[in-house]
């Protein structure tokens, strides 16, 4: 593994984990009022585009980061739908 690749994986960890506290808070409070559909949909598209780009250029850190971020984003979308009627 090259030194530069380590930075890619470090970016993956921090780039994906920043949304985990939001998932935790949303799950605990069952409140999704402050989650923006615009943000969720833009982030979803961002993950799709970056994953595709990573695949096309053969950059595994980019692919893994954005596929993991996509899972996190889909989790938030699922919570948004599931708890949409909660105050």
Tell me the two tokens of residue 86.
Answer: 């909660």
- What's the burial of 69, exposed, middle or buried (CB within 10 Å: 0-12/13-18/19+)? buried
Q: How far apart (Å, rounded) are the C-alpha atoms in residues 10 and 4?
A: 10
- pTM score above 0.75: yes
Taking residues 31-41, report their average pLDDT. Answer: 92
The average pLDDT across 40-51 equals 96
Residue range 47-76, pLDDT digits in tens: 999 999 999 999 888 898 899 999 999 999
Which residues make Cβ contacts (< 8 Å) with residue 30, sequence separation at least 6?
83, 86
| Higher per-residue pLDDT: 4 or 51 | 51
**At a CB cut-off of 8 Å and minimum separation 6, what does 31 contact?**
83, 86, 87
């Amino acid at each position: 593994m090259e030194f530069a690749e380590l930075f890619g994986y470090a970016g993956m960890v921090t780039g994906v984990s920043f949304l985990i506290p939001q998932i935790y808070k949303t799950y605990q409070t069952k409140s999704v009022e402050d989650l923006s559909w615009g943000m969720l949909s833009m982030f979803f598209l961002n993950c799709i585009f970056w994953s595709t780009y990573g695949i096309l250029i053969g950059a595994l850190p980019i692919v893994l980061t954005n596929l993991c971020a996509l899972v996190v984003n889909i989790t938030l979308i699922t919570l948004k739908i599931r708890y949409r009627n909660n105050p």
